[in-house]
Structure 1
């Protein structure tokens, strides 16, 4: 009866694991869609950045005039804003990955703790009863049918114990990988924040340059008239 109960418990456990796997596959598909959206956003803004850089390069080849200087400052400001947006998207992605890792690490630790306790029980049982005597078990069996049935149950039990140890080692590897990824993502997020701050300072510098040039145009009437003539062309 006890072995029959264990077999039923194992069946229920298998069904439970199957349901969990289905949920994981569904969540993974959702996660892939989320990653795809990030990639689309990053690709789009990277293309816009490249277009602005080309415009700046073209502007630098032209004759330097007041209007071209204003235009170039405008392009530079636009470029920096796009770069800041790019860092913001990358940071959002990194933060989501950090959040996922921060959630998965405690779950892995809990699994490892549970599996460790199961392994300790297996080791204690092995220490108490020693190596299993197959011949003695065969002689004690009431009949061939009982022997086959009990042997099958013991085989399943041995497989279950082996799986616990295998899962423990696998989860231990996953935990180590997740902890390394967590540190990498923290460094990446820190780098993105610094880069974004640097770009914000560059934008402020371009704003100051733009204001200074406008002030210069207003103060210099001749330069102001020259600009108006350029606009007519």
Structure 2
């Protein structure tokens, strides 16, 4: 069993199928995932915290190589901007778009590099996704870089958290949220949730701001939702 869980014999998709096919209960499934990740040396990532997998628009055909994301909060305590630098790798031929899940209160998605806007989707019990169609389709193992921004209407997006969810493996994740000097929260935490939108926080680590910014790097995330939460 140890050899099988090392990743040499099965993939994460196969392990997920085994858990579902044999109706393995939650505690035993958690033990299997812990064994799987430990055998591969993946001890510093965040994986498999989601209680349920929300329905996707289409099967994911890429993996994220790196993700740098910056959130900006304005003087009213509202989310103003989400800036994303994103590199993905195709896992099969003909990958022609990426579906970007974003906050429902977003007023505009702006693609600066790597593609153009396509169809907007509402799915998965509240998820909103925007297609970013690549300049040219990718062949298997080919990578591409995307840069895009999410804008929010002034004073209409008051919030105390930002989240980034991952279905498949997302590597080299660098997230930060910046607050204005006259609107610094009393407490900020790095947070892991068990759902994309709602659910419960299963981990909260206190953060120290530097120049009004909370920043966190994690080597990889998978089947989880991570980000920041704060108190004013």
| TM-score, structure 2 normalization | 0.17
Q: Report the structure, 1 or 2, having the larger helix content.
A: 1
Q: Report the structure, 1 or 2, having the larger strand content.
A: 2
Structure with the bigger RCO (C-alpha within 8 Å, sep 6+) is 1
User: Between Structure 1 and Structure 2, whose CA radius of gyration is higher?
Assistant: 1
| TM-score, structure 1 normalization | 0.17
